[in-house]
Amino acid sequence: MSSKEVKAGLKSAREAIKNKEFKEALKHCKAVLKLEKNNYNAWVFIGVAATELQQPDQAQTAYRKATELEPEQLLAWQGLANLYEKSDQADFKAELPKIYQKLITLYEISDKAKYFEVSKKLVEVYQLEKNYLQVARVWRRLIQVREREAEEGLEDSELLELWKEMTRLLQDTVEDQDNETQQHLILAFERALQMMVDVPSEVHKSLSQDYIKCLSKLPHEVAKLKEVCDATLSRYPTHPYPLEALSENYIRTGQFCYRLSELDPNNSQAHFGLGIKACQDKKYEDAIKSISLDAKNDPVLLALKGRAHLQKGQTEEAFQVSAELLSSHPGSVEGLTLKGLAHVAKEQHKQAEESFLEALSRSPDNGELFFLLGRLYWSMGDEMRRDRNKAHTHLLKAAKLDPYLGSVFRFLGHYYKEVAKDQGRARGCYKRAFELDSSDAEAGAATVDLSMEQGDMDSALTVLQSVTERATPGSAKWAWMRRGLYHLKTGQHQQAIADLQAALRADPLDWVCWECLGEAYLNRRSFIAALKAFDKAHALQPTSIYSLYQTAAIKQILGRFKEAAAEYRQISEQEDYVPALKGLGECLLALARNALDDYLDGRAVDLIQNAIHYLFRAVKQRPDLSCLWKLLGDACTTSRTVSPNRAKVLVPGALCGMDPPDQSHTLDQRQLLTLGERCFGRALKLMPEAPRLWCDLGLNYYHQSRLLNCLYPEDDAQSLLEKAMQCVKKAIKLDSANHTYWNTLGVVAMAKGRYKYTHDVHNCISLDYITNVVAWTNLGALYLKKGNIELSHEALKIAQSLEPLYVNCWIGQAIIAETVGSFDTMDLFRHTTELSTHTEGVKGYAYWVCSTLLDKSNRDSELYLYNIVQMNAISAAQVALSKYTERIQTDPDAFIMLGYLNTHLQLKKQATEAYRRAVELLQASPHTDQLSFALRGYGRALSDDGQWEEAVRVYSSTPLEELHDLIGLALACFRIGRLPESYEKALVVASSEKEKACILTALALIQHRLGSMDHAKTLLFKCSMLKEPVPESLQCLCALGLVHGDVTLASATLTELLKLGEPIGGAVEERCLLTCTLLALQGNFSGVHREAARAIHRYCIIFRDTVSLNFIQCDKATRTYHFYFCVNLEFNSFHLRRNALKTIQRAVLLCPEDPAGWAGLMAACHTENTACLLTGSAPRREDLERAHMTLSLQAEDGLLAQALEGWVLQQAVTGLKQSSQYDQAETLCSQVLSVSPEHPVVFLMLRQVQCERLLLSEASNCVPPAVLDQLSAAVMANHTSVSAWHWLAEVYRSQGLLAQASVAYRKSLQLASQLGDHFGKMSSLLRLALLALMPCLFWQSQLPWKDLVLEASAEVLKMGSSPVALLYQALLQFSIKMGARETRRLLEKIVYASASGSSETIASVARWYLLRHLHTKDDLELIDTLLVKATAEGDSRLVDFHRRLYPSS
């Protein structure tokens, strides 16, 4: 680097800042940083310029960088402080105190004035932040510095002003300060008062007053307050403020100020303070006495002081006061009373009793002492409470002696309520206590509670009303809560909510009050508000089961069954709480019904099993509850919907009556329905007059009969239907107004075949309940069953008008449309699947979709395009039919249709499974046509899924007559290696020229596979002679010519192929590939490039013109052209790598599923990273190897996929090594070897990674010979890899084994010659020449290496132009004789050669050596010419080298 350039740049930046040309300053600074990246001044100047340009973030970064470089320099810190002071950003303001602190540290030694200035700024910042402790600390440190200066002659007046300023800063916020800050403030006052010379004076008096005011705000500094007040009064006897402060302190804290009494024994403020304290203790008589007191050391005052200690829990202090009182006034009642109260506080009942009795002996008419004794006996336990001579007697005497003491009547109320059980007297006592003291919440609450218990609501409401009217917000919680509960009980929910909310304002943490508020919201049907209230109650009291239960119950009401079940389950884990178990069973049953509606039968069975489990737990607790038995019956009966083979439920043995009873047993569907029957029967025993139970029992019998008809047709189901009818009739008899029971009766009667009876029932229902959609639908179904189409249509039409979303009436209309042959049939069935999933609707829709698809003649009709394409019929039918077959697993027709639809959707495995199920169901069926159709579909599905042998077996099991089936069999046989004979049969069956052409093409491919080329050509020629030749046959013939090098045949066939017109679909790609291959075979490589580019341009234009407003998609041909085109760019020009990367990115974007595209992108990114490393810049696309590798390995099986896999793996490992991620590279190789141990290429890559890691480690100076032998063996195992020998040679070279490296390069050269690898041969020769050049440049033994350089470079030049080879020759000549004319000639040939085909790196190296040569010759003219050339090429490295050679220039 040049110090002159740095200084000049800094000077220019400084001048630019001075002239306010801040952008120019930034440019100069950046130029300096390029030369010296850690230049402190440059970073500071950048901060200054960025600050002025309103770029605070850049300024901060620059200043921060400068402070890191030189943390003890001031400029950067000053700049940061200036930046943060000007900015309004919160993060800057937060950092400002730290900057000030650093500046204070730096200024403390160098500049005291600046130190004081910055300290004051820091104090202002802390003052704004209300960080008073830091204000005190900073100011204290400032004073300490000043004190050190005072020792050197500074005047005390300046220090005095600093102490006074500190008091002014802190005195207004003393109450918000912590203890340390307060101590700093006290010190400031004391030091300021000590340093004042003019005493007494107004200034001193004012400062003393401020000090007293400050101390009066500190309760813990009472002693110091007294001391300062005394000192102030001694200097200023007439100053009233000290006395006022003392009196205020007494009123606030309740502590006696002896000095105030001594100064003014008759001071009214002091007595007023005593009165206030007595009022706070609820001793109103004592308050009146205290106001008029003027005696010194009065025992009453001392007793009040002791009681104050007791109220604060200071028992020991109270004992001390009582001892003082008894010592100064022996035997005083106040002292004995205080002593007794202190014993009560410590639960020393015996000692307390003795003290109270002694006091009572001295003052037998003291009502308070009788009350204290009565209260003491009450607190000593039940036995004392029941003893009338103890608590009751003393409380009565207290009431007689002091009838205005409300506490006495409260405890009397306790006695009458809990001991005497006299609620009337208790109520009277509580009422009297509350009248005497309206703030007695306990007495008021007891009064109201007893009034409500005795039914005297008016009295209770009167009390509550009087309290709530006087209450301030946040008080009288007990009154608000009780009034709220009263309103809740009387149904006034809105008023109850208002009262309970008022109660919560007084105590927001009362969980009981939250529960009451939740109840009020719940009764008002405000479910969300109730939910929040119960959640709050549960958060405050997690052990409350009631709040959790109500939360779950509300969520159940809101239909949030899953959340409700979770909370019910939480309760059931704690205890068998029957309401929670019942709610949990209901939620699980509701979730099971929802799952059944969605055809999630497996989930539904699990939920039913859990519901039975929890409901049985509830039944064990309360077997007398009919609702629990009904829920159990519902749970068992709900299993009727699922397939019988899925309805397997674990039921407790005690419930199902199976042994052992303590274990669960698996019940099938029939057993579950029988168990449901028993549960309904048990519920009816408890509630025999419940019509709903009779109807549910009848439906259970009905479902049992249907199951018998389906699975056990030999059993008689009529008896069950008869029971069902009798049960439903019983329900109707109990509640004849319920239309549901009548409808159920009609359904059961129809199942018995009593159509006339059913007709009459449904007709009555439809007339009586004219808006009942179910009744009208069932009536329509009955008419349809009887064949009366018109009446059925009318009934169903009425049902549709009543409820358009009821799916059953739409299914009926669809069946009618199908019966009469209407074109709307498919639309109607489709509409039923959109409304909901119903088995009849699903099967009908699937049938019509499959029928339409089987008809190949209607593909272009509007009906097909609308019903199938536009309405997405195949997917919709497949989804619906999948649900159908999940539930009904005995319908072969449904499985056949499902397989057919899956085949259309390319769902190969699903199609195979569906056809397999259909075949299994039809094996024992007499319907041979259906079985044959299923077998043919099964064979096609197996072929599509790649199960060729099984497909041949299935095809062979049924007669094949159709062309499609014969071709399928032939293809399956071909796939398993058997010579298919079915193609010959298919050729006979083929009816059109096109079919024959396709079959002949297939036969030609078979002959080609068998090695009969002539026969294959004959068949293809025969195919091309047909009237309707197919493009595939011409493509095969052209490919055959290309493979065998027959350019004439290929060219002629391609010409015929082009005559067929524009290609479509995959033919675009194939035709372009054939054309490119033919051009390459003819040696026209530029034509290959043009053809690929033309295809990209042409078909992308077609794409843009034909597809709009849709997602961007592109055909495979266009994507492939992109890939080949970018590979061509990558290969032909290093400078076009950006175009190649963009092109391959576009190809990947158009076709993300194409593995070849991802492989190309992987190569392009690697090339980009390599180019960055060569230019010295950071790679821009790192850590993408694993992701690209995963995406590139998505190809199907085959030779091409295997080759792609090997290449991608090698590319990924290379990229990981280049980015020094050796651990990941080794892990990747090891993973592949764990799957394919015999993989020499991967094994070599693993050895390469391990070796390179070893070379980069600390032990890289020497690789053990054993390791070198292993590496050599791994390279030899890859007998076709030229690059492997190159790598081994580099390893030898790194170890100084040049001879072995030369042998390895010669091996690679030999291998490249054998393989005909032109580039591999050239690379081996250049590497060999470079290996030989190294010892020549370093003046070692030159002779053998010199000849090797000349020989290798000459061979390269024979193969073509090579600037690298010329450079090697020039460098060899330079090493032999630097100053020779031949040296200059060879170097100038490279430097001044044409730029085309040459590398800038090669030219730069040549210029560097040429400059050295010219320097030795001191040829300044040629040097100037060379510098002009270098400057034009941007070769700054050579210019810097020249400056070093010629410092003075």
Residue 1103 has pLDDT above 50, yes or no: no
Q: Which residue would you say has higher pLDDT here, 955 or 652?
A: 652
List pLDDT tens digits, range 404-452: 888 888 888 888 888 888 888 888 898 888 888 888 888 888 888 888 8
In this prediction, residue 650 carries a pLDDT of 92
Q: Quick one: what percent of the chain has pLDDT higher than 70?
A: 81
Residue 1127, pLDDT above cutoff 60? no
pLDDT score of 932: 83
SS3 state at 666: strand
Average pLDDT over residues 963-975: 76
Tokens representing 1265 are: 């010979």
Of all helices (H) and strands (E), which one includes residue 652? Answer: strand 649-652
Q: How far is Cα of residue 302 from the mean position of the Cα atoms in its chain?
A: 68
- Using alpha carbons, list the distances in angstroms from residue 1226 to 1207, 1208, 1242, 1290: 17, 15, 10, 20
d(CA 1085, CA 1076): 9
**Whole-number Å distance between alpha carbons of 342 and 317:** 9
The conformational region for residue 1277 under phi > 0 = left, psi -120 to 50 = alpha, else beta, is: alpha
Is the pLDDT at 1019 greater than 70? The verdict is yes
8: pLDDT strictly greater than 70: yes
Instruction: Tell me whether residue 911 is exposed, middle or buried, using C-beta atoms within 10 angstroms of its C-beta: 0 to 12, 13 to 18, 19 or more.
Output: buried
784 vs 111, which has greater pLDDT? 784
Model confidence band, residue 340 (pLDDT cutoffs 50, 70, 90): confident
Q: Return the HEC string of 467-517.
A: HHHHCCCCCCHHHHHHHHHHHHHCCCHHHHHHHHHHHHHHCCCCHHHHHHH
Sequential DSSP letters for 740-802: HHHHHHHHHHHHTT-HHHHHHHHHHHHHHSTT-HHHHHHHHHHHHHTT-HHHHHHHHHHHHHH
Among 630, 654, 636, smallest CA distance to 582 is for 630
User: Can you tell me the mean pLDDT for 101-112?
Assistant: 70
Name which of 242-256, 445-459, 1127-1141, 1318-1332 the model is least confident about.
Answer: 1127-1141
The confidence band for 1398, taking pLDDT boundaries of 50, 70 and 90, is: low
Residue 649: helix, strand or coil by DSSP?
Answer: strand
Give the Å distances, CA to CA, from 1271 to 1288, 1291, 1399. 7, 9, 34
Could you give phi then psi for residue 403, rounded to 5 degrees? Answer: -70, 0
Q: Name the CA dihedral angle for 221, 224, 225, 231, rounded to a multiple of 10 degrees.
A: -170
Contacts (Cβ under 8 Å, ≥6 apart) of 837: 597, 598, 599, 880, 883, 884
In this prediction, residue 79 has a pLDDT band, given cuts at 50, 70 and 90, of confident
What's the confidence (pLDDT) of residue 1206? 63
pLDDT in tens, 872-931: 888 998 898 888 888 888 888 988 899 989 988 889 899 899 988 888 888 877 777 888
Which bin fits 1061, alpha (ψ -120 to 50), beta or left (φ > 0)? left
> Is the per-residue pLDDT at 1390 higher than 90?
no
Do residues 382 and 423 lie in contact, with contact meaning Cβ atoms separated by under 8 Å? Answer: no
pLDDT band, residue 1199 (cuts 50/70/90): very low
Which sign, positive or negative, has the C-alpha torsion 203, 208, 213, 214?
positive
User: Taking Cα atoms as reference points, which of 336, 343, 417 lies closest to residue 380?
Assistant: 343
Residue 341 clears pLDDT 90, i.e. is over it: no
* pLDDT number for residue 398: 86
Residues 29-59: b if buried by 16+ CB within 10 A, e if exposed: bebbbeebeebbbbbbbbbbbbbeeebbebb
pLDDT at 557: 93
Question: Where does the pLDDT of residue 1379 fall: very low under 50, low under 70, confident under 90, or very high at 90 and above?
Answer: confident
Amino acid symbol at 511: W
Q: Look up residue 666 and give its two tokens.
A: 């698996």
Q: Determine the pLDDT at residue 1110.
A: 27
Q: Is the pLDDT of residue 607 over 60?
A: yes
Euclidean distance between CA atoms 1124 and 1157, whole angstroms:
9
What tokens were used for 1340?
């070692």
Question: CA 918 to CA 935: how far, in whole Å?
Answer: 9
Place of tokens 């669809």: 814
Average pLDDT over residues 729-737: 88
Which residues are within 8 A (CB) of 1226 and not within 5 positions of it... i.e. 6 or more apart?
Answer: 1246, 1249, 1250, 1253
Helix/strand/coil for 978: coil
| Length in residues, the chain | 1449
- Please tell me which residue, 454 or 697, carries the higher pLDDT value: 697
Q: Which of 488-492, 589-593, 801-805, 1113-1117 has the lowest mean pLDDT?
A: 1113-1117
pLDDT at 631 (0 to 100): 94
Give the per-residue pLDDT at 1137.
47
Mean pLDDT of the chain: 78
Percent of the chain with pLDDT over 90: 11
Reported as a pLDDT band with limits 50, 70 and 90, residue 719 is confident
C-alpha to C-alpha distance for 167 and 1077, rounded to whole angstroms = 96
Structure confidence at residue 567 (pLDDT):
93
- 1132 pLDDT above the threshold of 50: no
Answer whether 356's CB lies under 8 Å from 374's CB.
no
Mean pLDDT calculated for residue range 567-575: 91
pLDDT of residue 494: 92
Residue pair 133/181 in contact (Cβ under 8 Å)? The answer is yes
Instruction: Please compute the mean of the pLDDT values over residues 1302-1318 and round it to a whole number.
Output: 79
How far from chain centre, in Å, is Cα 944? 40
Work out the average pLDDT over 623-649: 91
**Model confidence, pTM:** 0.55
Spell out the alpha helix ranges (H) of 151-178: 156-170
- The pLDDT confidence band at residue 263, using thresholds 50, 70 and 90, is very low
Confidence of residue 1131 (pLDDT cuts 50, 70, 90): very low
